[in-house]
Structure 1
Amino acid sequence: MTDRRREPGSRQLATMIDAARVFAGITAESIAQSGAALTLPQLRVLVLASLAEPLNATAVAAALEVHLSSASRICDRLVRGGLLARRDRPDDRRHLELTLTEEGERVLADITAHRKRVFSRILRRIDPADRALLTDALGPFIDAATEYDNRRSLMP
């Protein structure tokens, strides 16, 4: 039996949906201003490639929850676009490793810088006490979303 006190209310859900819309809009605008013709899944692959762990198409497929062939096509497009490099892994030549190119790093940096500028502009419009409340409230949300974020490797 579900504990009804732990179920989110409709206002809480509506607020989260509205916030998601704002975040998605800022991300889309950031991608557009970077000059890179990226899809959201492609951006997610670039973020994965920016992490310390070795990346291959199998890991991409798992993170995006898509078939290996779909992940391979996404990676192929990023390689052709000069944003990812593909090479044999030094420890196992049977497996390929995907890494960011300098252009891929630049695109990610541009997207992140744009997002920071937009969020800074929005946060300046909020009273400092309310900003502190927002930060304190988002902490538990981020902690609760860790499982989702770890499975999906979302935005930086």
Structure 2
Amino acid sequence: MPDKKPDTTDDLVTALLRSSRVLVAVAARSLAEVEDVVTVTQFRTLVVLSGRGGTTLRALAESLDVNASTAQRMVERLVAGGLVSRRTGDTDRRQVALELTDEGRQVVERVTERRRKEIARIVRRMPAETRAAFVAAVDAFGDAAEEPRVGAVEEILWGWATGSATAGNV
């Protein structure tokens, strides 16, 4: 029986699923220190607000892919916890702007920095000769998913590129 050519799509999907398990575990551990402050879903909300620099309830709900009432309940809890501020528009009082408070921003930065450190520890254990190919593959995957490149997001949000982080990244 001739050797069957490996199904690279299936192999890639399997490898990405394995990688996602690693990243989910890193994410869960990074949230452990703030689990009494926010849930995973609430943290995702904080990250979206961090990335947008503020937004409306409708836009937040769309970004989270939830209905407006679900987003409203989430925002209520985050406002009550002092992590999000809410203010009405100057010209249209029905328009409500949502933004992270300093405390909310600190939660995002603290959790993200912890993730960055743990991921860096894992990357340092990878063979150096495979890192460039891994970066290219992950970038291609992110591009296919239409996800902005991390360096671009960091530069926009915090004015620094990947490498020497002082603030944490999304």
Smaller-chain TM-score range?
A: 0.7 to 0.9
Residues 138 and 91 of structure 1: CA distance in aligned 2, closer, same or farther (over 3 Å): farther
Q: Any residues of structure 2 matched to 1:116-135 within 5 Å, and which?
A: 116-135=116-135
Aligned to 1:106: 106
- The secondary structure found in structure 1 opposite 2:38 is coil
Normalising by the residue count of structure 2, what TM-score does the alignment of the two structures yield? Answer: 0.76
Aligned to 2:18: 18
Normalising by the residue count of structure 1, what TM-score does the alignment of the two structures yield? Answer: 0.82
Residues 27 and 115 in structure 1, CA contact (< 8 A), matched pair in contact too: yes
Shift, 1:53, TM fit: 5.2
Aligned to 2:144: 144
RMSD: 2.3
Percent of residue pairs bearing the same amino acid type: 34
Unaligned runs of 5+ in 1: 1-6, 150-154
CA distance in 2, matches of 1:102, 1:147: 26
Q: What amino acid does structure 1 have at the position aligned with 2:57?
A: A
Shift, 1:101, TM fit: 0.6
CA distance in 2, matches of 1:146, 1:86: 30
Shift, 1:41, TM fit: 2.2
Unaligned runs of 5+ in 2: 1-6, 150-168
Q: Any residues of structure 2 matched to 1:73-84 within 5 Å, and which?
A: 73-84=73-84
CA distance in 2, matches of 1:49, 1:142: 21
> How many positions carry a matched residue from both structures?
145
- The secondary structure found in structure 1 opposite 2:104 is helix
Residues 46 and 100 in structure 2, CA contact (< 8 A), matched pair in contact too: yes
CA distance in 2, matches of 1:106, 1:22: 25
Aligned to 2:43: 43
